[in-house]
Each structure stands twice: as C-alpha cells, then as structure tokens.
Amino acid sequence: PLWGVPDDALDGKTGLSETMSPGSISTLFADDSPAFRVEFDSNQPPPNAQRYWRGPILWNFDGDTWSPSITSFQELSRQVEVSDQAIAYEVQLEPHERRWLLALDLPVRTDYPKALLSLDYQLISEDPITSLTAYRVISNPDHFDSPTLRPIRRMIATRLPDDRNPRTRAMAEEWRERYPDDRQLAEALLRWFSEQPFFYSLDTLPLGRNSADEFLFDLREGYCEYYASAFAVFMRSAGVPTRVVTGYQGGFWNAAGQYLLVRQSDAHAWNEVWLEGEGWVRFDPTAAVSPLRIREGSSQALNRSGFFDWPLISNLRNRVDRLQHAWNQWVLGFDSRAQVELLRRLGLPELRPDQIALLMIAVVIALAISVALFMLRGARARSRDPAER
C-alpha cells in the first residue's frame, strides 16, 4: 500500500488469542473496537443463529488452558464443493498481529493468496495480519466436517489430564450409562445447563486446579469460555471427541451501509462434538444458559448500563462507523491489488511494481506543477507591486 505503520506499532493491541483459559475472552467485553466488517453478495446477512465467525480451533487441554493441536495447521488436501446454500461475502479484517482469518462456519473457498484452509476448516494466513486486510470467502453452512475421524485425532479430542476434575468425571460416567448415544448425552448436558441455576455473567471468580468441578458444581456463573471449557471436559470425560472453537458471534447489521460490523466485544467460544455419521457438530452451551446472547448480542444479554451502552448512543456509534467503513474501502484499502484494478479500468496494461511507482511519481509531479502554477497566477493577480510579486 501507499502508507503503513511500523511493524511494532500494534504491539499491545487486544484481540482474540490463539489460546483460551477462563477469563481470557471476558476481558474483550469492554473493548468495543471493530474486529472486522463483512459485505455479503446477497446484501443480506444470515440469521443471528448462524453468525458464528470461526477463529482458532482448540484441542489440547492442560487443565488450565486450551490450545491448538499440531494437526490444526495441516492443510485440507481435498477441495470442497460449493453447495446451493453457500454464502459469499467479503471480510475487512482489522490488524491483530496473528495469523488467523475470520470466516463464517464453514469456509470452503477464499481468494486470499497467502491463506490455507486447515483440516479444522480454519483460514490461516502465512504472515501475521498487521494491516487492514480484505479477502473474499465462500462458506457452506450445511457442510459435514470430517465424516470419519482418524485415530490420532480421536485420541487428541478425548485426552484430559488424569489428576483433574474428579466430580465431573464421576458425573460423566454416570450419565454415559444413562445416555449411550453421544448426541443425546450432549443435548442432555445442554438441558441441564438451562434447567439448573447457571448464569451468564462477567462477575466471576478465578478457578483453581479443578476448574470444571468448581464451575459446574460450585460457581455456576461465568462468561462463554467458562461454559465451553466445562462442556468439553464433561464430554471428554464420557469418551466423546470434543473440541473448543473460539471466534466471534453476532454483529450489528448496518442497513444503510449494507455491511455487518463485528466488534471485539462479540468474541465468543463454543464447542464442536464429533458424532458418528455427522462429523463435527456445533453445540453452544452459552446459548442454553442465555439465548439472548445469540439473539441480541453480549451487551444485551449482560445488560450493560454505561453511557456508551444507551440505545441512542450505541446506535449512533454503529451508524457513524459507516464513515470508517468508507474510509477503509476507498483509502486504506487502496493496496497493490486495487491499484492494478484501477489501471486496468483506465485501459492501461498490467504494469510491474517499478512501472506503477514511476507512473505514480509522474502523476504527483504533474499535479504539483499544476497547483504551483495556479498559486503563482493567483499571487500575481493579487499584487501589483513588482518587488512583492
């Protein structure tokens, strides 16, 4: 691009991490800065319940923190067919200094030249995203991910530390006898979340060594990562392959600008359970506890009451973002690809980077000379004194 910032200028910027532990996502709730914007080819966004924006996929659990598996970064070897239900869109991703690219569940195509689609259906860039990045994606919401599960991945998806969470293990073993079918077990756990006094809240206490036990039987109050982690530990204790997915959920539809704005405060965590004959299936325990989180967003579910959360102010901020979106499109987004496209529309042949640079310099010089002559002519008209002129 024509402008930029030093590589270290974004150091310290908050955003979604590549690992997850209790409290890591709830800290983003106070950050209302944009994470990305999306324009759909149909000019209509999918329903709220389908707005799951896929980020890092987490397999490994050490008792405290979830992290990706080494297999998460392997490229998907086969090409997935685009279905009739496919959704085509363009994402403008804000810089976050990490390699993941956000995409709607489940991405199957992208035009980003430095991206690979992993075995986990996660878009991963070769380089960290350090500037505003635009890319097109096609997602198949009805696609079956991994109809068969390799033994090594099954082993990773059921592995737990041996000396943690004894109460959760005991409950999972008891429920396993009652619900031999994996889907029935997952749905029963979601019903238990909705029927028992669990609460969706930011006001949570730190968890100790047996985090799942403490949350499920004592605390029963937390943000999305608390529920996703406890759900995965329970299901794995019953021998069911389960992983954690982090990303974003929801977004504000700007009808005037025809784009979806997703903020950092929309960060979310959910689960995927591998079911025989169905592959990886999404289960969101937070939705069982607080359906309003999925329908209206995190700010509505948690009933924030700050000045910027007043409906009038919040709507105004979301609508003013249209100016930023236009700036991103026409100014920040004028990168090398946009420059080549502009030259093509002007009827110029495809030029090398050095030729484009020379052409731009020539245009700048021509504009500078024109402005200088105009200013000199104006100065002569204003002054009749030869010395002053």
Enzyme catalytic residues? 224, 268, 284
CB 311 within 8 A of CB 252: no
If we measure between CA atoms, which residue out of 78, 148, 70, 73 comes closest to residue 109? 78
Among left, alpha and beta (phi > 0; psi -120 to 50; other), residue 321 is: alpha
Provide the CB-side half-sphere exposure for 6 (13 A, CA). Answer: 3
Instruction: Report d(CA 240, CA 242) in Å as an integer.
Output: 6
If we measure between CA atoms, which residue out of 13, 20, 31 comes closest to residue 304? 31
- Angle in degrees, CA 182, 184, 185, rounded to 5: 65
CB 241 within 8 A of CB 149: yes
Tokens at 250, concatenated: 């929801």
Helix, strand, or coil (residue 59): coil
If we measure between CA atoms, which residue out of 139, 45, 38 comes closest to residue 91? 38
If we measure between CA atoms, which residue out of 189, 203, 91 comes closest to residue 138? 91
Q: What is the 8-class DSSP label of residue 48?
A: G
CB 205 within 8 A of CB 219: yes
CB 96 within 8 A of CB 13: yes
User: 111 CB contacts (<8 Å, ≥6 apart)?
Assistant: 135, 136
